[in-house]
């Protein structure tokens, strides 16, 4: 054989080998699906792109194959072949599952939602998590629905609201306990990784988050979700206690403001937005703290994640916030928010006169007392 052909073949082998290793196959049997039906698969392919594939149901059977590099949440939907007769998405007959390389089997009658989906380890983990959480989540949803109905009634029944909140707390605590138990016992699971990414990253405290992140295996951290989680964790570390921070942003008067210009003061850096109800609810408490401590070398810098200047400034005026306000009006794509991985608000951190973070996420009616203990 020509030596060049051998070299080319050897160079091509790793790519071909990886492709084969990433292959999945889903064979399904829906014995009473009827005629003119198809199954749609929605998943992330080997490049991490959202992908759709489909197969006709023939004699109650279907087959779909493809490649996916890492375990990811996917969806199988049963629908009529003719697009103009497809029911709305909210009424679709579908089931979510976890797809990764390997063989999958779908067994059912006339419904995909009620079918059994078995396959690789990620799906086994997902079914285990469902068995541990389904009843608790259903109970919590029912409580939430009752709470929403009472809370948004024309006449608020505060007594009932408090009773429902009291009922919700132990259920929520059980859900959190089940979540932690599953995560800590499955460090090599794509399902545990996704649960951490979706349930534990709204506000990352690096000192706490490490307990969830550090045990994760290299295999799951190499995935697209794992890489994003690592990047977010690294950004959160930039505003962990003990770190020195500085940034430049445009203030509400159009002037350039630099955080380090306040060196020598205690500064509470507060991320908020006009549309954020919990943020606005904190403003009276911050105002009380500001008025009590402003003469003791204390300042607040509000970083608005608004996208409209009028909404931002109207909220500042309405809530009576006399402290420094800055924004680049890019929402969560704000340069500061991106730099520090801010993906949920309200959030804040307190820096000392040297610009070092000494506390985070101070909130509530006693925020002035919390600050007074820290300001010397």
Single out the residue of 200, 229, 205, 235 nearest to residue 217, CA to CA: 229
Alpha-carbon span 71 to 43, nearest angstrom: 10
Alpha-carbon span 191 to 131, nearest angstrom: 13
Phi, psi of 29 (to 5 degrees): -135, 115
| Neighbouring residues of 372: CB distance < 8 A, sequence distance ≥ 6 | 292, 293
In terms of Cβ atoms closer than 10 Å to its own Cβ (0-12, 13-18, 19+), residue 315 is: buried
Phi, psi of 95 (to 5 degrees): -145, 135
Instruction: State the pLDDT at residue 4.
Output: 43
Residue found by looking up tokens 């950004």 in the block: 235
Tokens representing 228? 């994003």
**DSSP letter at 232?**
H
Q: What is the pLDDT tens value at each position of the chain, 376 positions in all?
A: 444 443 334 344 443 333 346 899 999 999 999 889 999 999 999 888 999 999 999 999 999 999 999 999 999 999 998 765 445 444 579 999 999 999 999 999 999 999 999 999 999 999 999 999 999 999 999 999 999 888 888 777 889 989 999 999 999 999 999 999 999 999 999 999 999 999 999 889 898 999 999 999 999 999 999 999 999 999 999 999 999 999 999 999 999 999 999 999 999 999 999 999 999 999 999 999 999 999 999 999 999 999 999 999 999 999 999 999 999 999 999 999 999 999 999 999 999 999 999 999 998 888 888 888 888 7
Phi, psi of 10 (to 5 degrees): -65, -35
Alpha-carbon span 1 to 12, nearest angstrom: 16
Instruction: State the pLDDT at residue 83.
Output: 64
| Preceding peptide of 346 cis, ω within 30° | yes
Pairing of strands 347-351, 266-272: antiparallel
Alpha-carbon span 20 to 65, nearest angstrom: 12
| Neighbouring residues of 103: CB distance < 8 A, sequence distance ≥ 6 | 24, 25, 27, 119, 120
Instruction: State the pLDDT at residue 367.
Output: 86
**C-alpha to C-alpha distances, 150 to 136, 139, 159, nearest whole angstrom:** 21, 17, 10
Phi, psi of 116 (to 5 degrees): -95, 130
Alpha-carbon span 97 to 73, nearest angstrom: 6
For residues 191 and 71, the answer to whether their CB atoms sit within 8 Å is: yes
Rounded to two decimals, the pTM is 0.82
For residues 228 and 197, the answer to whether their CB atoms sit within 8 Å is: yes
Q: Within 13 Å, how many C-alpha atoms sit on residue 370's CB side?
A: 16
Phi, psi of 258 (to 5 degrees): -120, 130
Q: What are the respective helix, strand and coil percentages of the chain, to the nearest 5?
A: 45, 25, 30
Instruction: State the pLDDT at residue 155.
Output: 79
Instruction: State the pLDDT at residue 207.
Output: 87
For residues 27 and 47, the answer to whether their CB atoms sit within 8 Å is: no
Instruction: State the pLDDT at residue 67.
Output: 94
């Amino acid at each position: 054989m020509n030596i060049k052909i051998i070299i080319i073949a050897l160079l091509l082998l790793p790519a071909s080998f990886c492709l084969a290793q990433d292959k999945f196959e889903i064979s399904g049997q829906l014995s009473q699906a009827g005629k003119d039906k198809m199954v749609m698969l929605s998943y992330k392919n080997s490049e991490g792109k959202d992908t759709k594939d489909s197969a006709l149901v023939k004699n109650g059977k279907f087959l779909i194959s493809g490649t996916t590099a890492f375990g990811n949440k996917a969806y199988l939907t049963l629908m009529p072949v003719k697009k103009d007769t497809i029911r709305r998405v909210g009424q679709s007959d579908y089931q979510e599952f976890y797809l990764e390389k390997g063989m999958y089997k779908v067994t059912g009658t006339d419904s995909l939602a009620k079918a059994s989906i078995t396959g690789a380890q990620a799906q086994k983990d997902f079914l285990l998590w469902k068995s541990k959480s389904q009843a608790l989540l259903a109970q919590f949803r029912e409580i939430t629905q009752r709470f929403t109905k009472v809370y948004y009634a024309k006449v608020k029944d505060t007594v009932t609201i408090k009773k429902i909140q009291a009922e919700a707390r132990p259920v929520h605590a059980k859900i959190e306990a089940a979540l932690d138990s599953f995560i800590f016992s499955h460090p090599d699971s794509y399902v545990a990784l996704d649960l951490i990414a979706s349930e534990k990253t709204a506000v990352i405290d690096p000192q706490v988050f490490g307990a969830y992140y550090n045990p994760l295996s290299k295999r799951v951290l190499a995935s697209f979700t794992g890489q994003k989680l690592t990047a977010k964790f690294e950004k959160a570390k930039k505003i962990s206690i003990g770190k020195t921070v500085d940034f430049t942003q445009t203030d509400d008067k159009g002037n350039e403001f630099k955080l380090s210009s306040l060196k020598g003061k205690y500064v509470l850096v507060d991320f908020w937005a006009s549309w954020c109800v919990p943020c606005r609810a904190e403003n009276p408490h911050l105002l009380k703290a500001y008025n009590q401590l402003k003469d003791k070398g204390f300042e607040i810098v509000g970083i608005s994640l608004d996208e409209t200047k009028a909404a931002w400034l109207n909220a500042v005026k309405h809530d009576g916030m006399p402290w420094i306000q800055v924004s680049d009006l890019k929402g969560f794509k704000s340069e500061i928010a991106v730099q520090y991985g801010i993906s949920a608000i309200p959030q804040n951190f307190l820096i000392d006169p040297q610009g070092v973070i000494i506390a985070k996420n101070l909130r509530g009616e006693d925020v002035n007392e919390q600050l007074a203990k820290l300001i010397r």
